[in-house]
Amino acid sequence: STDFGNVSYKVPSICSLFKIPCEGQGNHTKGFTRASAGLRAHQLSLESAKGILIVEFRVLKDKGF
């Protein structure tokens, strides 16, 4: 969850999410904890970070974006 409230009215904000594959498990479970420590979760977090970086670069470079 996030709690940045009205901050997005003053500065650009994003609440980015990505899925960590965890068959038959949900967030806040032991299975999810194990899955989040795995290589696939690490790879997905890097892919997500790269996507955010690309958008951030565009926002900073292109005033009309």
Contacts of 15 (CB under 8 A, 6+ apart): 2, 4
4: which 2 tokens?
């940045």
- Flag whether pLDDT at 63 surpasses 90: no
Per-residue confidence (pLDDT) for residue 2, from 0 to 100: 67
- Give a yes or no: residue 38 inside a domain: yes
- Give a yes or no: residue 4 inside a domain: no
Q: Give me the DSSP letters along 7-49.
A: GGGTS-----------TT--TTSHHHHHHHTSHHHHHHHHHHH
Per-residue confidence (pLDDT) for residue 1, from 0 to 100: 56
- Give a yes or no: residue 36 inside a domain: yes
- Give a yes or no: residue 5 inside a domain: no
- Give a yes or no: residue 3 inside a domain: no
pLDDT tens across 2-51, in order? 677 788 888 878 888 889 999 988 888 999 999 999 999 999 999 999 99
CA 8 to chain centroid, in Å, comes to 17
Q: How far apart are CA 17 and CA 27, in angstroms?
A: 13
pTM: 0.72
